[in-house]
Structure 1
């Protein structure tokens, strides 16, 4: 059984848009290959090789995006409870050692943007936060070591995605 890929409507539309753009680009690249073939010797034909590489990339990406779209589970986080950390929850954490507050929103893997506080539900941090409540203290194992956090707040806020 294939695993569903949770995402917001924004994430789904982002994938759909890329899929459509690549489908539109593909015939143009095929034409470039045909034009480049007319130049004769293909062994030293840079245009031909560049177009072939682009076509291979497009085909691989189309396959990947098609799979993602087929497995997409579009979730509206505003309709979910946020008494515990879950998909679409915003969680305010206190790094106990550094006495620093940080805030993350749990999103789908295609929407992740840690610099903007959006982390994928399947990152090590998010996996360890899911199900936690305000007041919980956890030790999170991250690639850079263990960090002790206190969950200060769990709530929903509309997600602002950056393009």
Structure 2
């Protein structure tokens, strides 16, 4: 059974746009490349044809993967989420107990993660460590550098 993925409406829209781009723009472009390479003659020694066929195979694989992902995608209704615990789509303010530094993160699905925007994946070490915590809880998170302790200061949506 495939694993369900949870998305924000914007994240799901982005996923659909990516799939549409692959189907409507990339697929015809590669088909054109194959046709042009085929017109050049002997296919057994045609590197352009082999490269285009390989690109086509990779694109079809990506399309199939995205279609599967979309079929298992669910939109999260933020109004139904509990704000007493850290969950997907929680905006969390945490404090590093070692240096006192405070950080703000939003926990999102793996596909929507973007550290520059303060969005971390729920499957990342920090994301996993924060899930289920409440305000005042201390999360001890195993990172490549060792263990870090974060105190949950605030949870919002």
2:50 matches 1:19: no
Deviation at 1:107, TM superposition (A): 0.7
Alpha-carbon separation, structure 2, partners of 1:89 and 1:16: 24
Alpha-carbon separation, structure 2, partners of 1:49 and 1:155: 53
Quote the residue 1:105 is aligned against: 106
Alpha-carbon separation, structure 2, partners of 1:104 and 1:51: 42
Output one character per residue of 1:95-149: Cα deviation in whole Å (capped at 9) or x when no partner: 1112111111011111011222101122221111111111111211122321011
Alpha-carbon separation, structure 2, partners of 1:144 and 1:89: 26
Deviation at 1:48, TM superposition (A): 2.1
Deviation at 1:15, TM superposition (A): 0.9
Alpha-carbon separation, structure 2, partners of 1:82 and 1:44: 63
Check 1:77–1:44 CA distance in 2 against 1; reply closer, same or farther (3 A cut).
farther
Does the 8 Å CA contact 1:77/1:87 hold for their aligned counterparts?
no
Return 98-107 or 79-88, whichever deviates more: 79-88
Task: Give matches, 1:69-88, under 5 Å.
Answer: 69-88=70-89
Task: Give matches, 1:15-94, under 5 Å.
Answer: 15-24=15-24, 25-42=26-43, 44-94=45-95
Quote the residue 1:160 is aligned against: none
Deviation at 1:43, TM superposition (A): 5.1
Aligned residues: 156
TM-score (norm 1): 0.87
Q: Following superposition, which runs of at least 4 residues in structure 1 exceed 4 angstroms of deviation?
A: none
Structure 2: gaps spanning 5 or more residues: none
Deviation at 1:46, TM superposition (A): 4.1
Structure 1: gaps spanning 5 or more residues: 157-163
Alpha-carbon separation, structure 2, partners of 1:60 and 1:21: 15
Return 45-54 or 16-25, whichever deviates more: 45-54
Alpha-carbon separation, structure 1, partners of 2:71 and 2:60: 16
